[in-house]
A = this chain, B = another copy of it.
Amino acid sequence: MAAQHGSPAGSAECAIEVRVVVFSLREQRLQVLLEPASAAPDPAWAPPGSRVTPVLSLEESASVCLSRFICRPRTFLEQLYTYGDPERDPHGRVISVVYFALIPFDAFCSPDAAARWFPVDEPPALALDYAGMLAYAVRRLRYKLEYSAAGFELLPEVFTLSELQRTYEMVLGEHLDKRNFRRRILQAGIIEPTPSQRRAAEGRPAQLYRYRPDAVAEVKARRLFP
């Protein structure tokens, strides 16, 4: 039981893959991108995945995986969790390093017809343990939205305050007060107005804003303890 010290040389061999849980706002809802799980007898879906290639890092592998669907480079990609229970795949042990990605609603262009979007709160039957993965990814996304600027990754470069508010409402699944929302988001100083306005087909034109990544918004939320 003394076991190995330091780097355990000659480690175990394991099947390893990356999976990417891709979120976007579509049709006024938060949706997730899924593919048909190949080996399933029953129709079941899975987040896009691929093997880890020998020369790429994990994040690069996930990024390649994403590029099957995304035309534009700007993409939020973050590691979520690594799943590796021996029994999670009946065909043998697979370790899945899972990422989650946020893409603006105008950046999707799929040359891959088999993939489809599903609302996160009405997912289809998912293969293996992917349902738990998805639920965890949604929880993390909602959480991140509250203390980071992740929300902007779901919007195009320029947007109106109403669009930004709808983004928050769709992800969080709750209604927000318009005046309070504007006050807080403007006070935070993380967006700036652009010279132009949106000329809408309906109603009064809205001021367009742009996210300021430089205003790092490293502001910290209030502590719970102590």
Contacts and interface: CB of A to CB of B under 8 A. Distances in A.
Interface of A: 1-17, 35-40, 46, 49-58, 65, 68, 79, 81-82, 84-86, 89, 91, 93-95, 97, 112, 114, 127-128, 145-149, 151, 164-165, 168, 176, 180-181, 184-185, 188, 190, 217, 219-226
A172 to B, nearest CB: 9
Number of this chain's copies in the complex: 2
10 contacts: A7-B127, A8-B49, A8-B50, A9-B38, A14-B14, A57-B85, A145-B225, A176-B226, A181-B226, A185-B225
Given A112-B2, A146-B225, A7 B54 contact: no
B79 A225 contact: no
Interface centre among A10, A38, A84, by most chain B C-beta atoms within 10 angstroms, is A84
Nearest to A52: B12
B6 A37 contact: yes
Given A6-B127, A12-B53, A52-B14, A225 B184 contact: yes
A146 B14 CA distance: 37
A163 B41 CA distance: 58
Contacts of A145: 225
B223 A38 contact: no
Given A11-B17, A14-B14, A226-B181, A84 B97 contact: yes
A82 B94 contact: no
Contact of A168 (B1, B147, B226): B226
